[in-house]
């Protein structure tokens, strides 16, 4: 069965990429031959008139996404049957979101920077932008780096709600745009947005990059995309949907020197490689550290990785429901949603963005944070908002919210959710 899962996952991604490539060629007019039945795949929904939202709407989205997470985590904490009231909840929250998982590593870099030797040299595998933001925020928190990290993440998460509403409003009718933000808010692993993790900052930069690209502000889009690539490897994925938007815009008008701003996206990743070069004399030193304990992470084909996830789920049943089963299920759920988008005329930039992000994420061997990483596969939430039957949208949103509460409770209990 594991081999079948791997074959289906890898083969499905290849089929998706091939069909999507043909659609792109057809929409650009570079494939004059029309294949039988090809209209089903090359048809793309026209953009609606941009939805108008007020400042009050954006403020409400900012507050709402934060309120959802605080409410979920508070009620999740109540399942622990602890005494001490709200103060005890805050103490427990602080412990889980500043001391668990990768949080201590980001805090170490924020306080000490990268080090070129010794045991702590391995923290070069974590990208520099988020620790730098923590260090800057610590100037306003009296040197309290833990508080600075939480503030950066939560301010960015609130910003995600507002910018996601603005971006969705360029692609979707008003009601569906609100649904898209709602799906983002109740993603089952969205609680990672609240603590010392890169998720919120990375999400905000990706959303801002695409929002600017949609209005042809290539320089600013490239800058935010470059910062996203300085935050996580997957930031490089933004180059593909932004380049697609540029090619579409280029068909309608001449693009000036500002379009060179797109080069800032790979330049951001180049900045991270330069850190490796300065510290270790090797542009790709981080790969050696990633392949060593405790990560054991190398690049492998998607099918091989899915086979490994399936086998590890059977080998470690205690971790299966936290890590391995969600990684397998979410991969196929996202891939199925992308295929559905191909058949139903979803925006091509969503499909390019979502497919590239999913593929890059699942090329990582020995991955243990796949469900958290897929919070940043933002096209999923726009695709879900496109579902026409409201009852189905509501059912999927309710199911996601229940999963969010369940995993939030498990995380607050101290389970190995990463």
pLDDT in tens, 97-110: 999 989 999 999 99
**What's the pTM?**
0.96
The pLDDT value given to residue 365: 87
The pLDDT value given to residue 53: 95
d(CA 315, CA 324) in angstroms, rounded, equals: 10
For residue range 322-368, what is the model confidence (pLDDT) as tens digits? 899 999 999 999 999 999 999 999 999 999 999 999 999 999 988 99
In terms of phi and psi (left: phi > 0; alpha: psi -120 to 50; beta: otherwise), the region of 387 is: beta
Query: Are 123 and 105 spatial neighbours (Cβ–Cβ below 8 Å)?
Result: yes
The pLDDT value given to residue 254: 55
Q: Which of 256-260, 291-295, 411-415 has the lowest mean pLDDT?
A: 256-260
The pLDDT value given to residue 252: 61
Question: Is the per-residue pLDDT at 88 higher than 70?
Answer: yes
d(CA 82, CA 63) in angstroms, rounded, equals: 27
For residue range 228-262, what is the model confidence (pLDDT) as tens digits? 999 999 999 999 999 999 998 876 665 555 677 88
Question: Is the per-residue pLDDT at 5 higher than 80?
Answer: yes
How many angstroms separate the Cα of 276 from the Cα of each of 104, 115, 270? 21, 11, 10
Structure tokens of 132?
Answer: 């730098």
With pLDDT > 70 as the criterion, what percentage of the chain qualifies? 96
The pLDDT value given to residue 283: 95
39 — pLDDT class (breaks 50, 70, 90)? confident
Query: Are 64 and 183 spatial neighbours (Cβ–Cβ below 8 Å)?
Result: no
| DSSP 8-state class, residue 282 | -
Average pLDDT, the chain: 93
Higher pLDDT: 163 or 293? It is 163
* 281: number of Cβ within 10 Å: 9
Asked if the bond preceding 294 is cis, omega within 30° of 0, the reply is yes
DSSP letter for each residue of 381-409: HHHHHH-S-HHHHHHHHHHHHHHHHHHHH
User: Helix, strand or coil for residue 154?
Assistant: helix
For residue range 387-405, what is the model confidence (pLDDT) as tens digits? 999 999 999 999 999 999 9
Higher pLDDT: 262 or 206? It is 206
The pLDDT value given to residue 184: 98
* 153: number of Cβ within 10 Å: 28
How many angstroms separate the Cα of 161 from the Cα of each of 148, 166, 167, 236? 20, 9, 10, 22
């Amino acid at each position: 069965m594991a081999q079948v899962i791997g074959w289906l996952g890898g083969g499905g991604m290849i089929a998706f990429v091939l069909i999507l490539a043909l659609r792109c060629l057809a929409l650009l007019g570079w494939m004059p031959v029309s294949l039988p039945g090809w209209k089903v795949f090359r048809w793309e929904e026209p953009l609606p008139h941009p939805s108008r939202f007020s400042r009050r709407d954006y403020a409400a989205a900012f507050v709402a996404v934060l309120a959802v997470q605080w409410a979920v985590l508070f009620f999740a904490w109540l399942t622990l049957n602890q005494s001490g009231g709200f103060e005890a909840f805050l103490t427990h929250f602080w412990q889980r979101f500043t001391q668990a998982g990768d949080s201590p590593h980001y805090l170490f870099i924020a306080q000490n920077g990268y080090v070129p030797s010794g045991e702590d040299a391995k923290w070069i595998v974590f990208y520099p932008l988020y620790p730098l933001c923590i260090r800057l925020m610590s100037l306003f928190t009296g040197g309290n780096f833990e508080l600075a990290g939480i503030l950066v993440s939560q301010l960015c998460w609130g910003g995600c709600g507002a910018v996601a509403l603005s971006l969705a409003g360029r692609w979707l009718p008003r009601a569906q745009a609100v649904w898209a933000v709602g799906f983002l808010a109740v993603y089952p692993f969205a609680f990672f947005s609240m603590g010392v993790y890169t998720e919120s900052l990375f999400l905000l930069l990706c959303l801002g990059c695409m929002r600017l690209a949609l209005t042809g502000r290539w320089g600013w889009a490239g800058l935010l995309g470059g910062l996203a690539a300085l935050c996580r490897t997957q930031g490089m994925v933004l180059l593909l949907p932004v380049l697609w938007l540029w090619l579409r815009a280029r068909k309608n008008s001449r693009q000036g020197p500002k379009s060179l701003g797109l080069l800032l996206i790979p330049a951001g990743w180049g900045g991270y490689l330069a850190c490796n070069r300065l510290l270790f004399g090797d542009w790709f030193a981080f790969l050696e550290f990633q392949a060593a304990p405790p990560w054991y992470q190398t690049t492998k084909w998607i099918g091989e990785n899915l086979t490994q996830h399936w086998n590890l789920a059977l080998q470690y049943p205690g971790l299966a429901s936290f890590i391995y089963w969600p990684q397998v299920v979410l991969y196929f759920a996202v891939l199925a949603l992308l295929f559905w988008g191909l058949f139903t005329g979803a925006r091509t930039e969503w499909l390019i963005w979502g497919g590239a992000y999913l593929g890059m994420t699942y090329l990582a061997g020995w991955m243990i944070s796949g469900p958290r990483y897929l919070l940043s596969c933002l096209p999923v939430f726009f695709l879900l908002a496109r579902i026409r039957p409201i009852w189905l949208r509501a059912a999927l949103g309710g199911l996601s919210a229940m999963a969010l509460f369940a995993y939030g409770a498990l995380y607050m209990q101290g389970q190995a959710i990463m």
